Amino acid sequence: MLILNRFKMKILGLAILSGLFGGLSFTLLKWAFNNSDLVNGIFWTRMGFISAALLSLLFVAARKDIALSFKHSTLSSKYLFLINKLIAAGGFILLYYALYKGNAPLINGLGGLQYVFIFIMAILFRNKIPGIAENLDDRSLVIKIIGLLCIVDGFIILNLSL
């Protein structure tokens, strides 16, 4: 029997809550795309995200943290951050287009495949990029492969049922 301490139970609860909010968000996105066109759906969802981000600036501590991190970051890290955000924007536009055209559960299931790609990239780049590490001892590797197979199996089952 799996015994979880109090800290792990709290993390599990937060992860479940995060999944609930993520599912609700995805459902509302699909509803928005069903009731408007792609451009309006993207525009209004982005406006919501921007509004939420601006709300965080009401807190002095958040403003100080942002200013401090910007001040102490190197020029190369600022460029990497910008490149990362451009890649993420491209990914979100593709995701929103897929959601606009397709079935929400299937698109969300495909999103689970990102963990397969993250695992592969972590292995490929672990010696090339500082700070990227992947625990590859026998036990961890078996657990990670089983988890990845569960994701792929879930996607296959979801795909067969639609």
- 65-69, 78-82, 106-110, 114-118: least confident range: 106-110
Amino acid at 157: I
Mean pLDDT of 111-130: 82
Q: Where does the chain have alpha helices with state H?
A: 6-34, 38-56, 60-72, 75-101, 104-111, 114-125, 138-161
pLDDT of 128 higher than 70: yes
Query: What's the confidence (pLDDT) of residue 1?
Result: 43
Residue percentage of the chain with pLDDT more than 90? 17
Same-domain pairing of 96 and 109? no
Residues 17 and 85 in one domain: yes
pLDDT reading at 101 higher than 70: yes
Mean pLDDT of the residues in the chain: 85
Q: How far apart are CA 100 and CA 33, in angstroms?
A: 5
Same-domain status, 44 and 113:
no
At residue 3, the pLDDT reads 60
Do 75 and 116 reside in the same domain of the chain?
A: no
Range 2-18 average pLDDT:
80
Percent of the chain past pLDDT 70, that is, above it, reads: 96
* Residue 84, pLDDT score: 92
Overall domain count for the chain: 2
Cα–Cα nearest to 95, from 160, 25, 154, 148 = 25
Inform me whether the pLDDT recorded for 162 exceeds 80: no
Give yes or no for residue 156 having a pLDDT over 90. Answer: no
Are 61 and 134 in the same domain?
Answer: no
12-52 tens-digit pLDDT: 889 899 989 988 888 888 888 889 888 998 898 889 889 98
Q: What domain range is 116 assigned to?
A: 103-161
Q: Is the CB of residue 98 less than 8 Å from the CB of residue 107?
A: yes
User: Which pair of tokens denotes residue 98?
Assistant: 């897929």
Contact assessment for residue 115 and residue 151, using Cβ atoms and an 8 Å cutoff? yes
Which pLDDT value is given to residue 4? 62
Cα–Cα distance, 108 to 113 (Å, whole number): 9
Q: Within this chain, do residues 95 and 27 fall inside the same structural domain, yes or no?
A: yes
Q: Quick one: pLDDT at residue 60?
A: 92
- At residue 127, does pLDDT exceed 70? yes
Domain check: are 117 and 132 in the same one? Answer: yes
- DSSP class of residue 2 equals -
